[in-house]
């Protein structure tokens, strides 16, 4: 899985914010214009950690390695961000700190199709969705009511900021028919993660 581009360009001149990424500017990231043109389907971005079941039945966890940091054993790099120097790739779930939670999620969810999933639950990213146990959520899936809500999401900077502030969701991932994706998180907008309640 390639790193999904953020819909709007990051402000690399901004001061870092504790617990939040650098904010985005009201400028569309090159290659993501299709989103603001109304193409693709908006889906819920879950607040967990990404894992993948490959075609051979092996489980992998998405991992970002910062520039200058050691590469984990069996790490399969996908791409390196030239701006930040972070390398995105996959490592075997069994060697991660959440291996036991993943095992519980496999037991609870019984995933049987290769693809990517979000690992969610009590010990993952603060469990913002209040799951009682660990589960695997297939990427692109959400309950019907949530899918309908996402269909109403605006695609402009100001509208998306307001729409996300009014909801409990982490963010949006748009899926184009040709396989392209783009994302935006609530924390990407200025003012989030700086003492705000969202």
44 within 8 A of 142, measured Cβ to Cβ: yes
**Residues 32, 17: Cα–Cα separation, whole Å:** 25
For position 1, what pLDDT does the model report? 56
The sign of the dihedral angle between the CA atoms of 62, 13, 197, 5 is negative
Going from the C-alpha of 20 to that of each of 4, 189, 198, the distances in angstroms are 17, 9, 12
Do the bridges between strand 76-80 and strand 87-92 make them parallel or antiparallel, or are there none, so unpaired? antiparallel
Residue in the structure block whose two tokens are 């729409």: 163
Position 2 confidence tier, pLDDT thresholds 50, 70, 90 = low
Residue 196 has pLDDT above 50, yes or no: no
The overall pTM is greater than 0.85: no
- Overall average pLDDT of the 8-19 stretch: 84
pLDDT, tens digit, 9 for 90 and up, residues 116-140: 999 999 999 888 888 999 999 998 7
pLDDT, tens digit, 9 for 90 and up, residues 171-183: 999 999 998 999 9
- Overall average pLDDT of the 79-106 stretch: 93
For position 198, what pLDDT does the model report? 36
Residue 18 has pLDDT above 80, yes or no: no
For position 26, what pLDDT does the model report? 97
Residue 123 burial (CB count, 10 A): 14
CA atoms within 13 A on the CB side of 31: 9
For position 193, what pLDDT does the model report? 55
pLDDT, tens digit, 9 for 90 and up, residues 28-84: 999 999 999 999 999 998 889 999 999 999 999 999 999 999 999 999 999 898 888
- Overall average pLDDT of the 13-31 stretch: 87
Going from the C-alpha of 15 to that of each of 23, 119, 128, 193, the distances in angstroms are 9, 31, 26, 13
- Calculate the average pLDDT of the chain: 90
- Overall average pLDDT of the 137-151 stretch: 87
């Amino acid at each position: 899985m390639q790193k999904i581009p953020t819909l709007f360009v990051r402000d690399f001149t901004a001061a870092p914010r504790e617990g939040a990424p650098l904010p985005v500017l009201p400028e569309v990231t090159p290659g993501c214009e299709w989103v603001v043109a109304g193409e693709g389907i908006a889906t819920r971005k879950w607040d967990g950690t990404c894992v993948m079941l490959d075609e051979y039945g092996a489980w992998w966890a998405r991992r970002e390695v910062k520039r200058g940091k050691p590469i984990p054993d069996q790490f399969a790099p996908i791409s390196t961000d030239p701006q930040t120097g972070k390398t995105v790739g996959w490592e075997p779930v069994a060697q991660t700190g959440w291996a036991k939670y993943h095992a519980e999620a496999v037991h609870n969810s019984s995933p049987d199709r290769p693809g990517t999933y979000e690992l969610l639950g009590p010990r993952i990213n603060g469990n913002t969705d209040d799951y009682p146990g660990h589960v695997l959520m297939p990427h692109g899936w959400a309950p019907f009511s949530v899918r309908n809500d996402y269909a109403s999401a605006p695609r402009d900077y100001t509208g998306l900021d307001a729409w996300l502030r009014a909801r409990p969701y982490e963010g949006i991932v748009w899926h184009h028919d040709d396989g392209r994706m783009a994302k935006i998180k609530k924390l990407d907008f200025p003012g989030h993660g700086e003492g705000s309640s969202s």
